[in-house]
Amino acid sequence: MRCAVIGCKSDSRVKCASEVIQFFRFPKDKTLNKVYKKKCQRSDTFETKDTRICSKHFTDEDYVRQMKYELLQVPCPKNTRKLKADAVPSLNLFKPSSCLSTCNNSDARTRRQQKREYSKIVKDLLNTER
């Protein structure tokens, strides 16, 4: 399964030794479910009962504290963490107005425009010499 958040490449079929990624279901609460859908920023309609969001989009505060591990002063295994009932995805969400996407598009657009202008100048020069 893949993460539903637009731009996220997390996939449960790809194992990564450096990090453990969990996948969480969308909440059954209709209001919270709508919030999750909005955070995914997808333009298509999708069925949330089969969709998951990965752990990369939640903060440490979004997880239920596991006192057993805290009392033993050992790190909680990342694959056993559970989300709080009111947790909302807030990390690594796609930003459509981010500089990265607009800069690349505007740079390419500027290059194409300059190329057209140069072509027009060359064409005009060739026509005036005759």
pLDDT one-digit tens code per residue, 76-110:
887 889 999 999 999 998 776 544 444 455 677 88
- pLDDT tens digits, 42-88: 888 888 999 999 999 999 999 998 888 888 988 888 788 999 999 99
Q: How many domains does the chain contain in total? A: 2
Which residues are paired to 11 by β-bridges?
2
Are 4 and 49 in contact by the 8 Å Cβ rule? The answer is no
Neighbours of 69 (CB within 10 A): 14
Q: Does residue 39 share a domain with residue 61?
A: yes
Judgement on whether residues 26 and 62 belong to the same structural domain of the protein: yes
- Same structural domain, 33 and 82: yes
Task: Please tell me whether residues 121 and 85 are part of one structural domain.
Answer: no
Range of the domain at 102: 95-130
Do 72 and 100 share a domain, yes or no?
no
